[in-house]
Amino acid sequence: MSDDYQRVEAHDCPMSTCAAPAGSPCRTTKGKVAIQYHTARFRLVPSLAKTLNVPTPPVRKPGTTWVELPRPVGAGAEPSGHVRIGYARASTARQSLDTQLDSLAAAGVTRVFSEKISTRATKRPELEKAVTLACELRASGVGVTLVVHEHKRLGRGIDLATLAEELRACGVGLEFLTGELQGSHDPGGVVFTVLAALSGMEREYIRDRTLEGHESARKRGKAIGGASVTDDTMLAMALQMRGQELSLREIAAKLVITKGAKKGQHPSPATVMRLLREHDEQTAAAPVAVGE
């Protein structure tokens, strides 16, 4: 079972050559983390008495230099009380956290960590703070659950599975208030692991289908994205003003959109830059006529 190592580590290792204290993995005579727990130790757990071996989980980094880890407070004792810690995240500064925060408040969560940062960011400070606090509270003997509006706020695929492993190692539960994984989960459970992997595949599937659709549209000569606000007249005027050495901002302020929902407005400097760049690229790619 996924929590076998925690039950084994609730006891000191009786092997004189190891003597690892409760809370730490077994060690070899060379001072490395053992690949598996010593038989004399895991047999102290009644349900494992007849087991042939209990492997040391990856979270303990078997084969690395052994260091003593903090002893569990009240090892083997039932959690006293329960704490629910919330986490909310939006991908951009423009997105609102209100829906997530309201959802967490309605679920009775009062301690919430929130941030506006992309899922692809390698470090999410507020999430790290939430997980650290959750693990510290669990180590003190309190039951802890990390509550999130939807699993996508934590991540997908391998990122979600990695976080789940960290929570499982600390004995912290997970709860999602809505979405595909709605409900309470054992982060180390097989069902959760499979669903987390599928959520990562979903993102890749959507991305691949979108790219295929874009490529198909390009082959048919269709434009990608929203309706264009530029035309040949605007290009001609932009080229003329560029020849007068005006800045993109100055050019944009003198141009007017003549069609669509933005009719009468000025294009953005970025639109002018894209218009001129596409013209330059097409001009550079055009074949030179013979005799020129």
How many domains in the chain?
3
Residue segments in the chain with a per-residue pLDDT below the cut of 70: 1-2, 72-80, 156-158, 187-228, 285-292
SS (H, E, C) 87-114: EEEECCCCCCCHHHHHHHHHCCCCEEEE
101, 237, 276 from 246: Cα distances, Å: 48, 12, 13
For residue 32, the tally of other CB atoms under 10 A from its CB is 14
**Domain identity same for 104 and 73:** no
Residues recorded for the chain:
292
β-pairing verdict for 82-90 and 173-176: unpaired
**Catalytic-residue membership of 91:** yes
Domain extent, residue 266, equals: 232-285
Say which of 2, 91, 114, 140 is annotated catalytic.
91
pTM over cut 0.85: no
State the pLDDT at residue 153.
87
Digit-coded pLDDT (tens) for 16-65: 889 999 889 999 999 999 999 999 898 888 778 788 899 999 999 999 99
CA–CA distance, 282 with 202 (Å, rounded to integer): 37
Digit-coded pLDDT (tens) for 53-68: 999 999 999 999 999 9
State the pLDDT at residue 66.
94
CA–CA distance, 103 with 56 (Å, rounded to integer): 39
Task: Choose among 187, 86, 77, 188: nearest CA to 142.
Answer: 77
CA–CA distance, 254 with 45 (Å, rounded to integer): 80
**Domain identity same for 108 and 181:** yes
Residue 291 lies in a domain: no
State the pLDDT at residue 156.
65
Domain stop point among 77, 98, 120: 77
Structure-block tokens of residue 168: 């499982």
**Domain identity same for 31 and 102:** no
